[in-house]
Chain A
Amino acid sequence: MKDLLASSLIVVPAYNEEGSLPALLAEIRALFPDTDLLVINDCSEDRTAEVARQAGAMILDLPCNLGVGGAMQACFRMAWERGYQYVIRCDGDGQHPPDQIPKLIEGMQKNAVDLVLGSRFLGEESYRSTAIRSAGIRCLALMLSAICRARVTDPTSGFQMLNRPLLYCFAHSYPTDYPEPESLALMRRQGYTFCEVPTRFRARTAGRSSIRSWDTGYYALKVWLALLVDRARNVDPRYARRNVVKV
């Protein structure tokens, strides 16, 4: 656990999160003092970058807004180049409590998978959301489970930990907007494995979600289309799991 933490990178993608970032970064620092901490500022309009720098985190300051997918891919590339073994993502809005990260690590060690997903819906602890949104998520989960041939309960969760082979794959191709469900389908197709662990989520502490109510329709449409099109795409042998064993 200790060397694992020393060779991993905790990533906090942030867009206009100056309100919630200081507390979150302090919490992560206190829990994992030996792990490198990176904040990706997706071209925020507020003082996100400044706040992160004051907290002593490394920062990737994107010159234009790329969305979660583009921002995460920047981090994957950087982590790949610097030789990190694991990347742990923990969103800047404070929805992913850092004290749940050990659960992800445990899942990664126990199951020997490429990606561990923190799920809101797996445990007995319930998560409150609007009726439409949770119905949409359930629908998506069903479809994704069928595509991945593995049980997915929380396909939109960004609370995840991935290892170096998958890092290599994602550094080269990662979906742009709303990447979480699509990236699961993509990685399964390339032969990577994942598992879910039950985690507790928090209500966001400040700021607001980047997925607003009128975006939900676009979100659903985009994700479904992407999932269907991905099925028709060929497996890229350069990034397939069997070819990325030794990296």
Chain B
Amino acid sequence: MLTLPRLLIASASGFLVCTGLLSFINRRSGRFLALVWIALGTGIALAALKPEVFGDSAPGTYVVRIRLVMGLLSFAVLMITLETVRRLAMQERYAILWVSTGLSLVVLAVYPNMVGWLSTITGMTYISAIMVVVFAFLLLVSFHFSLALSHLREDQKRLAQRTAIVELRVRELEQKLRDSEAGRQTSGNTSRNT
């Protein structure tokens, strides 16, 4: 049965493969990264279109499959973050939270028992516990963004105010210079005339 969500996921991953191919050809990013993208896209597309392919070969239980997906996901997060930092498109201080998000996802995928305490306290299942952890990290990241944004606004305000004040001073100095030059010229003329 080809249901709509599976079709959507398949087309989205097809898009992923296309972008990966394009960047592989154009060498816009590193070839290795493009290959990772293509592999990821093909895998997801395959899984969406023909789940039996993985159904037989992959370890059977639901939790293990989720761990696999989580591992892939965190790997992608880590790769993208590191690549962006490497290209100086992101400063390290903003990467820290993303890297720790990716790392904690990896750790949770490898050692699923670490969310055990959370499950026992709240009575959540493994997957909801994982989602809570991920969500907490994303909240932290967006909070960090708000902080950074406010800081930037403040800096921008100060800069704008300072430029305006300095511009006024420059204009006044220019005017003074013009006046004194005009004064010197007229006085020179009068002395020559007399």
Q: Provide the bound-state CA to CA distance between A59 and B157, in Å.
A: 17
Q: Provide the bound-state CA to CA distance between A112 and B161, in Å.
A: 30
A106 to chain B, nearest CB (A): 30
The answer to whether A77 and B168 touch across the interface, beta carbons within 8 angstroms, is: no
Q: Provide the bound-state CA to CA distance between A40 and B165, in Å.
A: 10
A17 to chain B, nearest CB (A): 17
> Among B156, B157, B160, B168, which residue has its beta carbon within 8 angstroms of that of A78?
B168
Q: Provide the bound-state CA to CA distance between A156 and B156, in Å.
A: 26
Q: Is B163 an interface residue (CB 8 A)?
A: yes
- Chain A 175-196, CB-CB to B under 8 Å as 1, else 0, gives 0100000000000000000000
The segment from A63-71, A83-91, A134-142 found at the interface with B is A63-71
Q: Provide the bound-state CA to CA distance between A61 and B157, in Å.
A: 13
> Among A40, A58, A70, which residue has its beta carbon within 8 angstroms of that of B157?
A70
Q: Provide the bound-state CA to CA distance between A59 and B167, in Å.
A: 9
The answer to whether A62 and B161 touch across the interface, beta carbons within 8 angstroms, is: yes
Q: Is B149 an interface residue (CB 8 A)?
A: no
Q: Is A148 an interface residue (CB 8 A)?
A: no
Q: Is B164 an interface residue (CB 8 A)?
A: yes
A60 to chain B, nearest CB (A): 4
The answer to whether B156 and A64 touch across the interface, beta carbons within 8 angstroms, is: yes
Which residue from chain A places its CB closest to the CB of B164 in the assembled complex? A60
A-B contact count (CB 8 A): 38
Query: Considering only CB atoms and an 8 Å cut-off, how many residues of chain B contact the other chain?
Result: 10
- Chain B 80-121, CB-CB to A under 8 Å as 1, else 0, gives 000000000000000000000000000000000000000000
- Chain B neighbourhood of A20, CB < 8 A: none
- Chain A neighbourhood of B161, CB < 8 A: 62, 66, 70, 73-74, 77
Q: Provide the bound-state CA to CA distance between A63 and B161, in Å.
A: 8
Q: Provide the bound-state CA to CA distance between A77 and B160, in Å.
A: 12
Within 8 A of A (CB), among B154-194: 156-157, 160-161, 163-165, 167-168, 172
- Chain B neighbourhood of A215, CB < 8 A: none
Q: Provide the bound-state CA to CA distance between A58 and B165, in Å.
A: 11
Q: Provide the bound-state CA to CA distance between A60 and B171, in Å.
A: 11
Tell whether A77 pairs with B165 under 8 Å between CB atoms, given A70-B157, A176-B157. yes
Which residue from chain B places its CB closest to the CB of A41 in the assembled complex? B164
Q: Provide the bound-state CA to CA distance between A164 and B128, in Å.
A: 59
B155 to chain A, nearest CB (A): 12
Which residue from chain A places its CB closest to the CB of B159 in the assembled complex? A63
A236 to chain B, nearest CB (A): 16
The answer to whether B160 and A66 touch across the interface, beta carbons within 8 angstroms, is: yes
Q: Provide the bound-state CA to CA distance between A49 and B164, in Å.
A: 12
- Chain A neighbourhood of B172, CB < 8 A: 58
The answer to whether B167 and A78 touch across the interface, beta carbons within 8 angstroms, is: no
Could you name 5 residue pairs across A and B whose Cβ atoms are closer than 8 Å? A61-B167, A62-B161, A64-B156, A73-B161, A176-B157
Counting from the closest, the 4 A-B pairs by CB-CB distance are A74-B161, A60-B164, A78-B165, A62-B164
Besides the known contacts A59-B168, A66-B157, A66-B160, 15 further A-B residue pairs in the complex with CB atoms under 8 A apart: A58-B172, A60-B164, A61-B168, A62-B160, A62-B161, A63-B160, A63-B163, A70-B160, A70-B161, A74-B160, A77-B161, A77-B165, A78-B165, A78-B168, A176-B157
The interface of chain B, by Cβ under 8 A from chain A, is 156-157, 160-161, 163-165, 167-168, 172
